[in-house]
Structures are given as structure tokens and as C-alpha cells.
A and B are shown apart, each in its own frame.
Chain A
Amino acid sequence: DVVMTQSPLSLPVTLGQPASISCRSSQSLVYSDGYTYLHWFQQRPGQSPRRLISGASNRDSGVPDRFSGSGSGTDFTLTISRVEAEDIGVYYCMQGTHWPRTFGQGTKLEIK
């Protein structure tokens, strides 16, 4: 199975400051069609997960442009340019290239 490793697991941030989460995979996430199926999800407290980013860098509809995704191969990053209070929650990366699908452990974003 592809192991997804996120860091840090806890991320205290100051409102208005940037934040970055790393996600590394144990195998390349480039599929045979050339696409990289690495996705980012946000789970706010008490809510269902919501996809933010697909294909490593494509923001989903309605997602604020302060969220961005980057990376390739096995090394990926989710960046929030200026953290707002509504961004509090847990962030997960997930690979959709290989079976079984696997998630990272989750990174808890909290306000300092």
C-alpha cells in the first residue's frame, strides 16, 4: 500500500499568517495517463470532509484562493496564504492513483 506521510501533525498559526502542510507518498502518484491524483481535504470540527484541491494543484469550486496546492511525484504541499478563523480543522491528503486509496494521518490546524 502507498503510505502517505503528513507533517506537521499539529500546526498552531496566527491569524493572518501563512501556513503550509507537507504530504509525502511512498510511491510516485503519477498515473499512466500522466495525471497526478493527489487531493487535499478539509474537515472542520463536527463536519464532513470537503475536498479543497484535486490533482495536486486544482482548487475546487468555491474554495478561497488563499488555498493552493503544489508538488509532484512524491512530494506535495498545501499552503494557506493568510489563515482565517474559518480555516480551523484537520487537513488530509489522499492519493487516488493506486489501490487501495490511502490518506495521510491528518494535520490539525489551530490558532495560537
Chain B
Amino acid sequence: EVQLLGSGGGLVQPGGSLRLSCAASGFTFSSIAMNWVRQAPGQGLEWVSTIGGGGATYYADSVKGRFTISRDNSKNTLYLQMNSLRAEDTAVYYCAKTWHLDSWGQGTRVTVSS
């Protein structure tokens, strides 16, 4: 059974940093593209970033230069390093697998506020 367990969310001040993790199991993690998608309170879904199985990375313009997606295939874990956080980054962050988001994790909440 595919499992994606997100963690690392919390309350952070504007300008601060946070690292999200997504622990994967039930599939061959190393060969599969992985994604982060976020949902601001009461809003729709927004794609944030994708990393391919070979390491190629893609970012939304809204986070480019501030967020870094990475993966540790030895730990079956996806990461999102978030720097220079802004109030508008407040959202639930979901990890999802494959280029076309066929399975999603439970989400981890990030709140950027002073």
C-alpha cells in the first residue's frame, strides 16, 4: 500500500525557514517523480514544485529562489526547504507521487505569522 507521510509544518515568523518532509513507502521511491502542492486556507490547489526520479527540478514562479525541493532515495524521503517565508506561503502542503499526482499524502500545515 502506498503511504506518503508529511511532516515538519508549524508556525514560523515572516522571513523564517522551515523544512518539510514526506516519508514514502509502498513503491519504488527512487525512480518516481515527486511533487509538493499547497492549499491556502479556504482556497484551491496550487502546484509548488516537482523533482524527477533523475533529480530534475521544477518550481512555481511564486517560490522560485526561496524554496528547494530535494530527495534522499536512501531514506525514501522527499523534502521541501522553505526560506524567506511570507504570509502568503501559509497553507497546507501536500506531497504527491508521480508526474501526474496519482497518490497524495495527508498534508502538513505551515503558518507564517508574527
Q: Give A residues with C-beta under 8 Å from B.
A: 37, 39, 41, 43, 48-51, 54, 60, 90, 92, 94, 96, 99-106
Contacts and interface: CB of A to CB of B under 8 A. Distances in A.
Contacts of A92: 44-45
- Which range contains the number of B residues in contact with the other chain? 20 to 34
B91 to A, nearest CB: 13
Contacts of A102: 47
A10 B105 CA distance: 26
Contacts, number: 53
Nearest to A61: B102
B interface: dominant SS: strand
Given A102-B47, A103-B45, A49 B102 contact: no
B72 interface: no
B104 A100 contact: no
A51 B104 CA distance: 9
A48 B39 CA distance: 10
Interface in B84-114: 94, 96, 99-107
B60 interface: yes
Nearest to B4: A48
B44 A48 contact: no
A105 B37 CA distance: 14
Given A50-B104, A103-B45, 19 more contacts: A39-B100, A39-B101, A48-B94, A48-B104, A48-B106, A49-B45, A49-B96, A51-B103, A51-B104, A54-B100, A94-B45, A94-B47, A100-B47, A100-B60, A101-B47, A101-B50, A103-B44, A104-B44, A105-B44
Contact of B101 (A41, A105, A106): A41
B70 to A, nearest CB: 18
> Which of B44, B46, B94 has the most chain A CB atoms closer than 10 A to its own CB?
B44
Interface string B44-76: 111100100000001111000000000000000
Nearest to B100: A96
A106 B44 contact: yes
